[in-house]
């Protein structure tokens, strides 16, 4: 039996082998099955509680799009307002630049320990490894991130980084890494309490706190951070220095627009009207404040996003990283996030990774889609993901990067489709050949052996059934 290696799976071009290993990994399949239905059901309930979710979605999209249309103006205004409130804004074109800026700030503070809230930007730049190479320890404080940091793995989901782990695997991990004594970690409550006790020490000792940002509000210079654990607030307020790592497309014009986006974010991500902790941070502490850091820095990363905004793929920049497209994708649901071999998995990752890394570095990803359209249907920003994937496939074909068999089959299909009578004749013959060879014997069986994980096709069929029931 194969298992996917969640530590060394870092190659998007290895998707096929990685996906095949993931399909045979029974622990992974158990974890994915448990997580998937939870996300889908919660989102469904949350959006049905809104009178007109489509209207809310449209408003949120307009808010996001208008910020992107005037991005430089909003970024400049955000910077002006952060500086006015006593903070500093740094711009980084590349991941290496962001890491250097963060390192310099940490070194100025003589930092030995950094606590971290969840930040996909810091995953993009491999910030933890970089800081640790320079003698600065990092402690992830989001529970999922903490689990995968202990396991030396990478997140497999953009909002649920440890979704690939079963409860039993997490208990084993804690047993290995913590001094548990007689404590028993059978229950989820016990696991959470165990992590909380460990993280509390880190919160109190940290010299610098690094968080991500869900939104940057231009006309107030505020940074919005949403979490369900409150770890973002503790990371931002307890250490002497707070560093925010964000990407350029996070900026919105004002609080009203931020409110519209936050309403669709919580519902789409975790099925909540609002995340439990939705906090806005404005600069360092003032003399009248009881707590807060004495230094406040925002580091804003581009990493190819300006180029994407100026391309036919610009719609992708509306992404608010809610994860709904992952949760509803039959491919992600079958293979999980590590198979994609990079920071962003699922449909949004299959678009983003080739755009950010180069299409040659992620050739299989635009093909890792059934084109069922569920991702676009559930995306609160109405990003036309299947169309963007189709365009990427087209770009691959133009560059001669498309899989040879696929190019050949499509070439033959295209040639036939222009000759209706021959097309009809060939399809009729094909149908008879299929019957002759009793295709049911070469397609996956309907009823798997009791312990066998579902094959990809079976997963896909089930999710299609769920889809028609759900939507
Ligand atoms: S593409 Fe849409 S659904 Fe997917 S993470 Fe981004 S905003 Fe959410």
Per-residue pLDDT tens digits for 195-206: 998 999 999 999
How far apart CA 79 and CA 85 sit, in angstroms, is 10
Q: Are residue 105 and residue 200 in the same domain, yes or no? A: yes
- Residue 416 in any domain: the answer is no
Q: pLDDT per residue over 15-70, tens digit each?
A: 999 999 999 999 999 999 888 778 999 999 999 999 999 999 999 999 999 999 99
Least confident of 85-89, 260-264, 319-323, 415-419: 415-419
Q: Are residue 43 and residue 95 in the same domain, yes or no? A: no
pLDDT of residue 187: 84
Q: Are residue 348 and residue 296 in the same domain, yes or no? A: no
Contact assessment for residue 251 and residue 78, using Cβ atoms and an 8 Å cutoff: yes
Q: How far is the CA of 320 from the centre of ligand 1 (A)?
A: 6
- Residue 426 in any domain: the answer is no
Q: Are residue 239 and residue 385 in the same domain, yes or no? A: no
CA angle 62–67–72, rounded 5-degree value = 160
The mean per-residue pLDDT over the stretch 93-117 comes to 98
**Which residues, 6+ apart, have CB-to-CB distance to 368 below 8 Å?**
15, 19, 331, 340, 350
Question: Of 273, 306, 339, which residue sits at a domain end?
Answer: 306
For ligand 1, atom 2, name the residue with the nearest CA.
379
Looking at residue 368, the DSSP 8-state letter turns out to be: S
Q: Are residue 90 and residue 198 in the same domain, yes or no? A: yes
CA 269 to ligand 1: nearest atom: 8
Question: Of 279, 306, 333, which residue sits at a domain end?
Answer: 306
Q: In the chain, what percentage of residues exceed pLDDT 70? A: 90
Contact assessment for residue 207 and residue 113, using Cβ atoms and an 8 Å cutoff: yes
Q: Are residue 289 and residue 329 in the same domain, yes or no? A: no
CA 318 to ligand 1: nearest atom: 7
- Residue 141 in any domain: the answer is yes
Q: How far is the CA of 385 from the centre of ligand 1 (A)?
A: 9
Give the E-state strand segments of 147-268 in sequence order.
Answer: 208-211, 215-217, 222-227, 241-247, 251-252
Give the domain CATH number at 187.
3.40.50.10420
Q: Which domain holds residue 55?
A: 50-306
The mean per-residue pLDDT over the stretch 253-268 comes to 97
- Residue 373 in any domain: the answer is yes
- Number of structural domains (the chain) is 2
Q: Which of the four pLDDT bands, split at 50, 70 and 90, describes residue 262?
A: very high
Contact assessment for residue 139 and residue 205, using Cβ atoms and an 8 Å cutoff: no
Give 297's strand partners.
88, 243
How far apart CA 283 and CA 233 sit, in angstroms, is 14
- Residue 420 in any domain: the answer is no
**Which residues, 6+ apart, have CB-to-CB distance to 264 below 8 Å?**
53, 56, 57, 60, 320, 322, 380, 381
Q: Are residue 147 and residue 44 in the same domain, yes or no? A: no
Q: Are residue 127 and residue 19 in the same domain, yes or no? A: no
Q: Are residue 213 and residue 262 in the same domain, yes or no? A: yes
- Residue 193 in any domain: the answer is yes
pLDDT at residue 409 above 80?
A: no
pLDDT at residue 360 above 70?
A: yes
- Residue 138 in any domain: the answer is yes
For ligand 1, atom 3, name the residue with the nearest CA.
379
Q: How far is the CA of 265 from the centre of ligand 1 (A)?
A: 9
Q: Which of the four pLDDT bands, split at 50, 70 and 90, describes residue 417?
A: confident
Q: Are residue 85 and residue 27 in the same domain, yes or no? A: no
The mean per-residue pLDDT over the stretch 243-266 comes to 98
Question: Of 276, 306, 336, which residue sits at a domain end?
Answer: 306
pLDDT at residue 410 above 90?
A: no
Q: Are residue 42 and residue 54 in the same domain, yes or no? A: no
How far apart CA 312 and CA 310 sit, in angstroms, is 7
Q: How far is the CA of 321 from the centre of ligand 1 (A)?
A: 5
Q: Are residue 205 and residue 264 in the same domain, yes or no? A: yes
- Residue 171 in any domain: the answer is yes
């Amino acid at each position: 039996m194969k298992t996917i290696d969640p530590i060394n799976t870092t190659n998007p071009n290895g998707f096929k082998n990685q996906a095949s290993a993931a399909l045979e990994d029974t622990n992974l399949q158990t974890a994915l099955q448990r997580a998937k239905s939870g996300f889908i059901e919660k989102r469904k309930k949350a959006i049905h509680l809104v009178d007109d979710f489509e209207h809310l979605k449209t408003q949120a999209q307009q808010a996001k799009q208008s910020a992107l249309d005037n991005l430089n103006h909003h970024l400049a205004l955000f910077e002006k307002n952060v500086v006015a409130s006593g903070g500093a804004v740094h711009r980084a074109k590349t991941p290496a630049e962001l890491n250097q800026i963060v390192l310099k700030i940490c070194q100025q503070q003589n930092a030995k320990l950094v606590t971290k809230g969840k930040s996909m930007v810091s995953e993009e730049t491999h910030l933890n490894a970089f800081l640790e190479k320079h003698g600065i320890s990092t402690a992830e404080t989001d529970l999922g991130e903490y689990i995968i940091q202990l396991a030396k793995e990478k997140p497999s989901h953009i909002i649920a980084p440890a979704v690939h782990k079963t409860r039993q695997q997490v208990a084993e991990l804690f047993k290995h890494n913590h001094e548990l004594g007689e404590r028993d970690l059978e229950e989820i409550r016990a696991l959470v309490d165990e992590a909380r006790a460990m993280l509390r020490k880190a919160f109190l000792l940290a010299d610098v706190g690094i968080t991500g940002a869900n939104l940057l509000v231009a006309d107030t210079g505020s940074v919005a951070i949403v979490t369900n654990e409150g770890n973002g607030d503790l990371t931002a307020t307890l250490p002497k220095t707070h560093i925010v790592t964000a990407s350029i497309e996070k900026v919105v014009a004002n609080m009203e627009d931020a409110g519209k986006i936050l309403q669709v974010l919580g519902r789409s991500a975790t099925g909540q009207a609002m995340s439990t902790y939705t906090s806005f941070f404005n600069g360092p502490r003032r003399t009248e404040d009881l707590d807060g850091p004495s230094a406040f820095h925002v580091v804003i990363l581009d990493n190819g996003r300006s180029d994407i905004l100026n391309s036919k793929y610009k719609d992708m920049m509306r992404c608010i990283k809610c994860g709904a497209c992952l949760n509803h994708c039959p491919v992600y649901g079958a293979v999980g996030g590590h198979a994609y071999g990079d920071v962003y998995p699922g449909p949004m990752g299959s678009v983003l990774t080739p755009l950010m890394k180069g299409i040659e570095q992620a050739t299989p990803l635009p093909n890792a889609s059934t084109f069922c359209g569920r991702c676009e249907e559930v995306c609160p920003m109405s990003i036309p993901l299947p169309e963007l994937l189709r365009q990427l496939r087209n770009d691959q074909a133009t560059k001669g990067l498309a899989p040879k068999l696929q190019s050949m089959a499509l070439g033959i299909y295209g040639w036939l489709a222009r000759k209706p009578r021959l097309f009809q004749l060939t399809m009729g013959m094909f149908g008879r050949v299929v019957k002759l060879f009793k295709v049911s014997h070469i397609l996956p069986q309907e009823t798997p052996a009791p312990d066998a994980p579902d094959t990809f096709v079976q997963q896909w069929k089930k999710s299609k059934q769920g889809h028609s029931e759900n939507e």
